[in-house]
Amino acid sequence: MTSSLRITTDKDTGVAVLTLDRPAKLNAIDLDMACELTAAWREFRYDDAIRAVVLTGAGERAFCTGLDRSVEVRQPNSPYMVDDPLDTIGPKANDLWKPVIAAVHGMACGGAFYLLGESEFVVADETAAFFDPHTTYGMVSAYESVYMAQRMPFGEVARMALMGSAERISARRAYEIGLVSELTAPGGALDAAREAAAVIASHPPEAVQGTVRALWAAKEAARAHALTYAPQLVSLGNLPGERQAELFRTRRSDFRVR
Q: What are the pLDDT digits (tens) for 105-152? A: 999 999 999 999 999 999 999 999 999 999 999 989 999 999 999 999
Model confidence pLDDT, tens digit, residues 179-232: 999 999 999 999 999 999 999 999 999 999 999 999 998 877 677 777 776 777
213 assigned to some structural domain: no
- Region 51-79: mean pLDDT is 90
180 assigned to some structural domain: yes
Model confidence pLDDT, tens digit, residues 27-55: 999 999 999 999 999 999 999 999 999 99
249 assigned to some structural domain: yes
Q: Is the pLDDT of residue 233 over 80?
A: no
- Domain span holding position 17: 5-186+227-256
215 assigned to some structural domain: no
How many domains, the chain?
A: 1
The amino acid sitting at 62 is: A
179 assigned to some structural domain: yes
> What is the per-residue pLDDT for 52?
98
238 close to 138: Cβ distance less than 8 angstroms: yes
168 close to 255: Cβ distance less than 8 angstroms: yes
Q: How confident is the model at residue 1 (pLDDT cuts 50, 70, 90)?
A: low
206 assigned to some structural domain: no
Torsion-angle region of 164 (φ positive above 0: left; ψ -120 to 50: alpha; else: beta): left
β-pairing, 121-125 vs 167-170, is unpaired
Q: Is the pLDDT of residue 84 over 90?
A: no
pTM of the model: 0.89
> What is the per-residue pLDDT for 243?
83
Total residue count of the chain as it appears in this document: 258
170 assigned to some structural domain: yes
202 assigned to some structural domain: no
List Cα–Cα distances, 181 to 97, 189, 190, in angstroms: 20, 11, 13
CATH number at residue 23: 3.90.226.10
